[in-house]
């Protein structure tokens, strides 16, 4: 069984998180049945953008990186406190641990910024929300910013806005299973 950790910061965008939950869930039920997804945050309860409350499966300090195969990070809104959690040293250290173990990391939108701040994307290609401010922030972390919807470099997937979310989640599924399986799930989900 492939285990995916969905790392949530306060202010995370629900849509961007939900695609990982749905794609891995559809695979568990209708695909090759090989994926399980678990949520994690700095505390037991995380508040999303637009102030919805969620209880996570794990608190970040309880994570054993070796027991997971991939990390997924949705973006979020600054106004709802996304960067406070996403730039917290514990959040960044967990990302670094996943990269030290050479695990896949998939991000959507500004989820690429904590990946960049952790140092994992330094000297690599990446993208983020398609605004000049966010691209400059990513560039400031030593990332070779590419203005494309989805960029993959060294097992790290970055993308530029919520419109890329389903494709990022399906790409992660493909990396964890196979292209045929991801295509099957894509078709079953109507994409």
Q: What is the pLDDT of residue 78?
A: 96
Distances from the Cα of 125 to the Cα of 71, 103, 116, angstroms: 18, 17, 10
159, 152 Cβ separation under 8 angstroms? no
Give the whole-number percent of the chain exceeding pLDDT 70: 100
Residue 12 pairs in a beta bridge with 76
Spatial distance between the Cα atoms of 165 and 51, rounded to a whole number of angstroms: 21
Among the four given CATH numbers 1.10.357.10, 1.10.565.10, 3.40.50.880, 3.40.50.300, the one describing domain 2-188: 3.40.50.880
- What is the tens place of the pLDDT at every residue in 163-175? 999 999 999 999 9
126, 136 Cβ separation under 8 angstroms? no
- What is the tens place of the pLDDT at every residue in 69-124? 999 999 999 999 999 999 999 999 999 999 999 999 999 999 999 999 999 999 99
69, 4 Cβ separation under 8 angstroms? yes
Q: Please state the domain extents for the chain.
A: 2-188
Spatial distance between the Cα atoms of 187 and 163, rounded to a whole number of angstroms: 18
Distances from the Cα of 150 to the Cα of 11, 54, 102, 125, 169, angstroms: 22, 28, 20, 10, 11
Q: What is the pLDDT of residue 12?
A: 98
Q: What is the pLDDT of residue 50?
A: 94
Q: What is the pLDDT of residue 3?
A: 98
Q: How confident is the model at residue 142 (pLDDT cuts 50, 70, 90)?
A: very high
Spatial distance between the Cα atoms of 7 and 111, rounded to a whole number of angstroms: 10
Q: 3-class DSSP state for residue 173? A: helix
- Would you list the DSSP string of 30-72? HSSS-EEEEEEESSSEEE-GGG-EEE-SEEGGG--GGG-SEEE
């Amino acid at each position: 069984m492939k285990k995916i950790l969905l790392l949530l910061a306060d202010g995370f965008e629900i849509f961007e998180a939900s695609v990982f939950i749905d794609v891995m869930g559809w695979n568990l039920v209708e695909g090759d049945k090989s994926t399980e997804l678990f949520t994690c945050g700095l505390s037991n309860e995380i508040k999303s953008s637009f102030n919805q409350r969620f209880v996570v499966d794990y608190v970040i300090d309880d994570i054993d990186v070796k027991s997971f195969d991939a990390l997924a990070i949705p973006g979020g809104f600054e106004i709802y406190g996304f960067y406070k959690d996403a730039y917290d040293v514990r959040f960044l250290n967990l990302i670094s641990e996943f990269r030290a173990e050479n695990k896949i990391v998939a991000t959507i939108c500004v989820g690429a910024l904590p990946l960049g701040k952790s140092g994992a994307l330094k000297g690599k290609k990446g993208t983020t929300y398609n605004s000049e401010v966010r691209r400059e922030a990513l560039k400031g972390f030593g990332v070779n910013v590419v203005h494309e919807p989805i960029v993959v470099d060294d097992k790290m997937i970055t993308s530029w806005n919520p419109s890329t979310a389903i494709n990022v989640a399906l790409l992660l599924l493909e990396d964890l299973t196979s292209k045929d399986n991801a295509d099957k799930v894509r078709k079953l989900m109507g994409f």
